[in-house]
Amino acid sequence: MADECCGPRDSHPAPDADSGMEQDHGPARLWDVRELRLAAVATVLLGAGLVIPGRVGTGVQLTAAVVGAATFVPGALRNVLRRRIGVGTLMTIAAIGAVALGQITEAAMLGVLFSIAEGLEHYAIARTRRGLRALLGLVPPTASVLRDGAEIQVAPDDLVLGDRMVLRPGGRAATDGVIRAGRTSLDLSAITGESVPVEAGPGDRVHAGAINGGGAIEVEVTARASDSSLARIVHIVEEAQDRKGGGQRLADRIARPLVPAIMGLAVIIAAVGAVAGDPLVWVERALVVLVAASPCALAISIPLTVVAAVGAASRHGALVKGGAALEELGRVGVVALDKTGTLTRNAPRVVDVVAVGEATRADVLAAAAALEARSEHPLARAILDAADSVPAAADVTAVPGHGLRGRVDGTALRLGKPGWVPAGELANDVERLERAGATVVLIERADTLLGAIAVRDDLRDETPEVISRLNAMGIRTAMLTGDNIRTATALAAQAGISTVHAELLPEDKANLLAGLRDGRKIAMVGDGVNDAPALATADVGIAMGAMGTDVAIETADVALMGEDLRHLPQVLAHARHARTVMLQNVGLSLAIIGVLIPLAAFGVLGLATVVLVHESAEVLVILNAIRAAKTTALPGVTTTSPATPPILAVSIAGKSDDTGCCDAC
């Protein structure tokens, strides 16, 4: 906010010059909050002043008013000098006016209650922001590196590409790398929210912050510490802090002009009332209106909910990019899912090879592997693993959506889907294999069919459960895939999906989304690579298994860092809950303002009552916003402990400026 709605502007620490991240994330205990300490002192003084008779008691009450007002008056005066007004300005005018009119007790109550509300908000924000400290703790202070035949300790920032890190059992990776020696199991729970260790060996990737749970390994550094997967997430978090949802923008549009309008209304009430009756009575009512119409609860209603909800989403291993993504996610009614790597395990394997004529199984696999050695297609790895030999191929080119061309020993080869490569005498075999849920590719040598290879990527074990849960939530599902219609239909039937669109190019998936919406918000779930156009086109793009995948994290609005698909219904249900809380907070805030203004203007409620109701409403909004952090774990899904939050609890935990609040005022 532009004013002291949320505590003094200098109460939040400056970012660390090197890391770009805050090193102090606010009070760990309620008593550490400055506003709450001053409110406690003011409360004691007010109580004593009410007991002590005469001028001494009045003086003690006045001291209580000064102590309570110390949390917002100095900042409000500084902002007035900068020609900026806000809620703190309204409260300052009301407090000074109450003292001038002799309502010392009411002025003290205003200071106490306003300070309590702001202190609770400050604490709620800080509690969520402390997840960033957990992120910083994932990177060890030193890393063991092999240089010149000796093992030395260096700071993570001193690591260079090509360094060999030695990671012993229990140690954390200081940056991203690839295992070059040793086998182990990696604990990624702090990153992805999944507690099941991942087996890893030579050639496998290691992400910054991963814990080595097995034997000692040597990891070749592939990214500087400042460019690691963790650093990339922090960068995204910083950018996402400025992204607002529609609800927050609505609150801003209402609250921003409301402050000067309230001041104008108060002046009119005082002026008109002075002509019609007792000037002092109407000045007092004008001051009460200033407090009654203060939009602080409205201003914090959305940002604080977003802070709590996005931080809590991290316990699902989900990176949600700000309020806009959270709100859209809460409105999703249709989910389109890619097949490979999303609904399936992304571990394809060759299940059958059919050769033609004198060709053998080895001949078919070798010819296919020669072309696939230059391919990045998910099926390539399965064929290469099954082949006994991989001949050198030349002039290999990809035909998008169809297959590959190339030459081996001067002989032309073509590998691709049935239809692009004629199935010929293998047509019945192709149909049989596809109906069994396999993807079939045909290999042709010198324009003569050599054989067919069936590759199957089995459904994830949790896929049917996930689809069932989405259906129970009233969310319609659809499968989008580039695979053939028979294979897609077979897998969709196993998953429980009735709407299937197959044989699609990446751009076809994006074009289909408009027709699938049916007037509702649609989310696209994919791997973020081949699905990038669809992720960008959908109302909400959700990248699956996104840890370490640049394009997935950059393109998607929501990134599920792990591989457990059950996190999808979790984060959708959580977003719906958060959106409900947002709407409740906005409605309550507007209702309080709408009721209090006329009652204050006509003298039905005095300053003390209005202060109590107004600040109680603000506390209620804060407490309700914190409810957005409540999550319910689905059966069989492991979430990280709130006491040791995953890195994603950095949560875009920011608000829109450095006060830790919002800019609505």
Distance CA 139, CA 156 (A): 8
Place of tokens 């963790």: 230
Residue type, 99: V
Those residues whose C-beta lies under 8 Å from the C-beta of residue 577, and which sit 6 or more positions away, are 309, 330, 628, 630
Straight-line distance from the first to the last Cα atom of the chain, in angstroms, rounded to the nearest whole number: 5
- Nearest alpha carbon to residue 243 among 314, 299, 307, 192: 307
Token couple for 11: 């109460």
Alpha helices in 346-484 (DSSP H): 361-372, 378-386, 427-435, 463-472
Distance CA 31, CA 459 (A): 52
* Torsion region of 188: left, alpha or beta (phi above 0 gives left; psi -120 to 50 gives alpha): alpha
Alpha-carbon distance values, 18 to 23, 157, 241, 655 (Å): 11, 10, 20, 22
Active site residue: 338, 457, 557, 564, which one?
338
Those residues whose C-beta lies under 8 Å from the C-beta of residue 442, and which sit 6 or more positions away, are 415, 416, 417, 418, 421, 422, 423, 426, 430, 449, 451, 452, 453
Distance CA 608, CA 610 (A): 6
Token couple for 145: 């590196």
Tell me if 16 sits within 8 A of 85, measured CB to CB: no
Got the DSSP string for 502-544? -S--HHHHHHHHHHHHTTSEEEEEE-SSTTHHHHHHSSEEEEE
Chain centroid to CA 303: 14
In three-state secondary structure terms, 149 is coil
Radius of gyration of the chain measured on its C-alpha atoms: 31
Alpha-carbon distance values, 172 to 140, 175, 212, 420, 551 (Å): 6, 9, 6, 49, 25
Alpha-carbon distance values, 165 to 146, 191, 450, 540 (Å): 7, 20, 47, 38
Tell me if 154 sits within 8 A of 200, measured CB to CB: no
* Residue 461 falls in the annotated catalytic set: no
Q: Which DSSP symbol is given to 349?
A: E
- The torsion angles phi and psi of 47, rounded to 5 degrees, stand at -60, -40
According to DSSP, the β-strands at 476-480 and 499-501 are: parallel
Token couple for 600: 């204050």
Token couple for 65: 């008013």
- List, edge to edge, every strand of the sheet that includes 318-320: 318-320, 558-560, 540-544, 521-526, 332-338, 476-480, 499-501
Alpha-carbon distance values, 61 to 41, 88, 240, 309 (Å): 11, 21, 45, 40
Q: Which residues are catalytic?
A: 338
